[in-house]
């Protein structure tokens, strides 16, 4: 009798589980931060819509061109202190940390040099040498002052958070989804990818690291991930070719010129996308030897350095890491 009751109970439990609706896989895309943002999640579409609306809010805060944004107000304050959002302050503290650890290879005050280049691919024109040298004289993350919620940069200096902001925002969107009870999702912010959780069939999410030699979108490596951020910085997305040289959007803060070191891309896998983003740009500028030394020193962080000739070098923990 007792056994029959247990069997009945188990059958009822199974029936209940089968009846509980699993959240559907939904997807939503938008154009923010000059790139395509895609959110895929086992969650109602309304939650995805709210997450995408958050992207718009962050864009309004961090855009370089909107005259009400934090970045615009700092850049146009003529050396005065400007009160900004918690998001801007957090990003600037993390940017500062990576600037210090990379010996200045990562530097968000690179903006005056960025402004002299057109990497949209619409024209292949080199900037004026003297103008670039003048721009470089205003670069220096050491001159950013942060006091509580107030930021000051010297007259003539300018911030460009393009190398780190998308990573921060992706982390914030991931936190929002988690807060909403979503336990399985994949975010792709123009190459800044976050995978979270296991899919209902028990599998992890696949994250591809692109093979730049095959612009069709073929993948060089596919990672199975459930709790990681993957960010790639490369020469192939934004830039132009002139006389056999690739001029791209990752600049050496010491010269204002695109970094030419044979690398075609650097991918970083880390727990937080904001670090992966800043580090992918930093490591590209530093090159493999110094970049790897930095990565090996950071817990739960791996790197893939890919060269124009197709050679690839990974950090020592990459092969055995669980992503």
Site string for ligand ADP, 162-191 (x = CB under 6 A): xx--------------------------xx
Question: What's the rounded Cα separation, in Å, for the pair 18 and 233?
Answer: 44
- CB-wise, 163 or 197, nearer to Mg ion? 163
For residue 232, give the nearest of 206, 259, 209, 263 by alpha carbon. Answer: 209
Q: Is 285 in the site for ligand ADP (CB under 6 A)?
A: yes
Choose the contact partner of 107 out of Mg ion, ligand ADP, none; CB within 5 to 8 A by kind. ligand ADP
- CB-wise, 43 or 207, nearer to Mg ion? 207
The minimum distance between CB 18 and ligand ADP, in angstroms, equals 43
Binding to Mg ion, residues 151-190 (CB under 5 A):
163
Q: How far apart are the first and last CA of the chain?
A: 48
Contact by Cβ (8 Å): 184, 196: yes
Q: Is 197 in the site for Mg ion (CB under 5 A)?
A: no
The minimum distance between CB 271 and ligand ADP, in angstroms, equals 18
Q: Residues 6 or more apart from 150 whose CB is under 8 A from it?
A: 81, 82, 83, 84
Q: Is 138 in the site for ligand ADP (CB under 6 A)?
A: no
Q: Is 112 in the site for ligand ADP (CB under 6 A)?
A: no
The minimum distance between CB 280 and Mg ion, in angstroms, equals 5
The minimum distance between CB 310 and ligand ADP, in angstroms, equals 21
In the numeric block, which tokens belong to residue 209? Answer: 């690291």
- CB-wise, 197 or 234, nearer to Mg ion? 234
In the numeric block, which tokens belong to residue 135? Answer: 């721009």
In the numeric block, which tokens belong to residue 149? Answer: 């919620």
- CB-wise, 35 or 183, nearer to ligand ADP? 35
The minimum distance between CB 22 and ligand ADP, in angstroms, equals 34
Question: What's the rounded Cα separation, in Å, for the pair 145 and 26?
Answer: 43
Q: Dihedrals φ, ψ of 287, to 5°? A: 85, 175
Question: What's the rounded Cα separation, in Å, for the pair 32 and 283?
Answer: 25
A 10 A CB-CB count for 321 gives: 15
Site string for Mg ion, 226-245 (x = CB under 5 A): -------x------------
Contact by Cβ (8 Å): 207, 193: yes
Task: Give the binding site for ligand ADP (CB under 6 A).
Answer: 106-108, 110, 114, 160, 162-163, 190-191, 233, 237-238, 249-251, 253, 277, 280-281, 285
């Amino acid at each position: 009798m007792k056994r029959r009751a247990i069997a009945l109970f188990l059958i009822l439990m199974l029936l209940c589980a089968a009846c509980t609706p699993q959240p559907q896989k939904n997807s939503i895309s938008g154009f923010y931060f000059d790139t395509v943002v895609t959110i895929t999640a086992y969650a109602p579409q309304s939650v995805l819509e709210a997450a995408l609306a958050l992207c718009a809010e962050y864009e309004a805060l961090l855009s370089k061109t909107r005259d009400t944004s934090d970045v615009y107000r700092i850049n146009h304050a003529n050396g005065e202190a400007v009160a900004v959002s918690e998001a801007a302050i957090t990003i600037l503290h993390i940017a500062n940390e990576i600037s210090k650890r990379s010996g200045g290879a990562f530097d968000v005050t690179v903006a005056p040099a960025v402004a002299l280049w057109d990497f949209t691919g619409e024209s292949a024109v080199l900037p004026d040498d003297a103008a670039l040298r003048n721009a470089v004289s205003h670069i220096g993350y050491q001159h950013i002052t942060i006091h509580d919620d107030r930021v000051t940069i010297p007259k003539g200096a300018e911030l460009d958070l393009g190398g780190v902001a998308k990573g921060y925002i992706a982390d914030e969107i991931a936190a929002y989804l988690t807060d909403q009870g979503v336990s399985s999702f994949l975010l792709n912010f123009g190459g800044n990818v976050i995978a979270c959780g296991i899919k209902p069939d028990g599998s992890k999410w696949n994250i591809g690291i692109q093979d730049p030699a095959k612009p069709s979108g073929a993948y060089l490596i596919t990672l199975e991930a459930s709790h990681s951020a993957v960010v790639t910085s490369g020469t192939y997305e934004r830039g132009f070719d002139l006389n056999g040289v690739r001029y791209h959007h990752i600049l050496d803060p010491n010269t204002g010129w695109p970094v030419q070191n044979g690398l075609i891309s650097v991918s970083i896998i880390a727990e937080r996308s904001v670090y992966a983003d800043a580090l992918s740009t930093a490591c590209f500028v530093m090159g493999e030897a110094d970049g790897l030394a930095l990565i090996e020193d950071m817990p739960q962080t791996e790197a893939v350095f890919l060269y124009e000739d197709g050679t690839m070098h990974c950090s020592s923990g990459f092969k055995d890491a669980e992503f």
